[in-house]
A and B are shown apart, each in its own frame.
Chain A
Amino acid sequence: MRWLAFTKRTAKEIILDPLTIAFGLGMPVALLLLLSAINSGIPEGYGPSNFKIENLTPGINVFAMSFLTLMAGLLLAKDRGSSLLQRLLTTPLTAVDYIIGYMVPLIPIALLQGVVCYGFALILGLSFTANIFLAILISMIPALLFTSLGLLLGTILNEKQVGGICGALVTNLTAWLSGAWFSLDMVGGAFKTIGQILPFYHAVEMQKAILHGNYSGIFIEGHLWVVLGYTVVLCVLAVVLFTSKMREK
């Protein structure tokens, strides 16, 4: 249970950084409001179906989770730059303890993102069904994916680089290539192919399927397996790279 002591400390660090949490929670709410307002101005039968609240919410929720990459990456990169980690590396903590310690405190944040996102969507007209709870639950898989990606980047990049790559690149890639704003079919070609190779689109489609009660839909195009595969690979890579960095120290 050594990881628990480290987890508590990480959780406190996250709580003491309310700006990042506010971004992670506030951004999806603002986007839901904006895109719903745009959608309300489009006559029925015209415009993209993506902006309908039942299609928009899973996309926005996945987009919000890209901020977990930023949070996890910044935490680890900041620690790597401090001598606190140097001290901790001389303790019996293992690489897995560290990764768990960084990952676990972000799970409640991801849950909160789901609750806020779907809660707000209900206010904006989403029909209440038990599928909302299932959608939030299954969103924990992409939450782990984004957290693992953050830990991977935080292991190899410094704080400034993490800010740039996670804050700009990952969030934008998630927004464009997940099909959250516009269908990948609208652009087609290489854009669609790249979108389908990356996990973001599958994370959104998986959540959409659950929300619409189409449970077997999570297996269409291998949505679940792609997201799970990326999550496992990124998590293992984060542990391996962190161990290697520890040895370098």
Chain B
Amino acid sequence: MTEIKLSSLTKRYKDITAVDSLSLEIEKGELFGLLGVNGAGKTTTIKMLSTLTAPTSGDAEIAGFSILGDKQKIRERIAISPQETAVAENLTARENLKMMAGIYGMDKDAAEKKIVELRDALSLGKVMDKRLKKLSGGYKRRVSIAMALINSPSVLFLDEPTLGLDVIARAELWEAIKAIKGELTIILTTHYLEEAQEMCDRLAVMKDGKLITVGTADEIMKEADVDDFEAAFVKLVKEGRS
């Protein structure tokens, strides 16, 4: 069942085309990876899908609702964990989660139950009552993802979730993402190709705002005619095939 449908989605900033007529479909429950070098248009795509910025032309539907006309309905169903850690640094992890629960209009009991669930799923037990500014980057990122999951969204956008984290924190965060995989549709952008290959059900490669290819890691390697996913990515991006 299609959860997200992009139809010629385009974003132009003056004379720069950040996203150029992007069309693709993402299935419900899929973990979908958006790959590309810097400036490929991944973050702009996520910003348009999460209603943060309006497309110049084209449209996208999430759960049947258009990003052009049904923003409020989409906002009730999606969540985003932006590239930078989007948390209230002066509040504790628990207070951050309570704030998000309140913003989504959850009642107290439902919020408490969900907070306990997320605390356990993302291993936040030790840090629940600590202010975010005192936590490591890895913990902040996990709290950021927990905040995104508080309203049980049907679609979660993770923009570079492991950016700037050390190896251990990155591995732990991927474990956390694995734990929620399948429960909702996840669209993530990352530069870590090995992890994307291992984690994602399907991947799309973008270059200069255009979609170069989309498919499973195996399909992409086959298309590039190489045995290594990183080599396939480099080859496709350099050739700029579409």
Give how many A residues have a beta carbon under 8 Å from the other chain's beta carbons: 24
Which of B51, B54, B76, B86 is close to A87, meaning CB atoms less than 8 Å apart? B86
Write 26 A-B pairs (CB below 8 A) sorted by A numbering: A1-B102, A2-B103, A2-B104, A2-B105, A4-B102, A5-B100, A6-B103, A9-B88, A9-B99, A16-B90, A83-B83, A84-B86, A84-B87, A86-B80, A87-B81, A87-B144, A89-B51, A89-B52, A90-B52, A90-B75, A90-B79, A90-B80, A91-B103, A91-B104, A92-B105, A249-B53
With a CB–CB cut-off of 8 A, which chain A residues contact B104? 2, 91-92
- B99 pairs with A6, CB closer than 8 A: yes
Q: How distant is A188 from chain B, measured CB to nearest CB, in Å?
A: 48
Tell yes or no: A82 within 8 A of B by CB.
yes
Report the nearest A residue to B76, measured CB to CB.
A92
Which of A9, A83, A248, A249 is close to B91, meaning CB atoms less than 8 Å apart? A9
Tell yes or no: B195 within 8 A of A by CB.
no
With a CB–CB cut-off of 8 A, which chain A residues contact B103? 2, 5-6, 88, 91-93
Majority secondary structure, A binding face: helix
Report the nearest B residue to A84, measured CB to CB.
B86
Tell yes or no: A212 within 8 A of B by CB.
no
Q: How far is it, in angstroms, between the C-alpha of A230 and the C-alpha of B98 when the chains are bound? A: 36
Q: How distant is B109 from chain A, measured CB to nearest CB, in Å?
A: 16
Report the nearest B residue to A93, measured CB to CB.
B103
Tell yes or no: B95 within 8 A of A by CB.
yes
Report the nearest B residue to A4, measured CB to CB.
B102
Interface residues in B75-133 (C-beta closer than 8 Å to A):
75-76, 78-88, 90-91, 95, 98-105
Q: How far is it, in angstroms, between the C-alpha of A86 and the C-alpha of B53 when the chains are bound? A: 11
Q: How far is it, in angstroms, between the C-alpha of A12 and the C-alpha of B101 when the chains are bound? A: 17
Interface residues in A44-99 (C-beta closer than 8 Å to B):
82-84, 86-93
Tell yes or no: B72 within 8 A of A by CB.
yes
Q: How far is it, in angstroms, between the C-alpha of A16 and the C-alpha of B90 when the chains are bound? A: 8
Q: How distant is A129 from chain B, measured CB to nearest CB, in Å?
A: 41
Tell yes or no: B9 within 8 A of A by CB.
no
Tell yes or no: A247 within 8 A of B by CB.
yes
Tell yes or no: A13 within 8 A of B by CB.
yes
With a CB–CB cut-off of 8 A, which chain B residues contact A4? 102
Given A84-B87, A249-B53, list of 8 further CB < 8 A pairs? A4-B102, A83-B84, A86-B80, A87-B86, A89-B51, A91-B103, A92-B76, A249-B52
Q: How far is it, in angstroms, between the C-alpha of A16 and the C-alpha of B131 when the chains are bound? A: 12
- A12 pairs with B95, CB closer than 8 A: yes
Report the nearest A residue to B82, measured CB to CB.
A83
Q: How far is it, in angstroms, between the C-alpha of A13 and the C-alpha of B105 when the chains are bound? A: 21
For the complex of A and B, list the 8 residue pairs with the smallest distance between their C-beta atoms, beginning with the closest: A5-B102, A87-B86, A83-B86, A83-B84, A83-B82, A90-B50, A9-B99, A16-B90
- A1 pairs with B88, CB closer than 8 A: no
Given A86-B82, A92-B104, A249-B52: A5 and B90 within 8 A (CB)? no
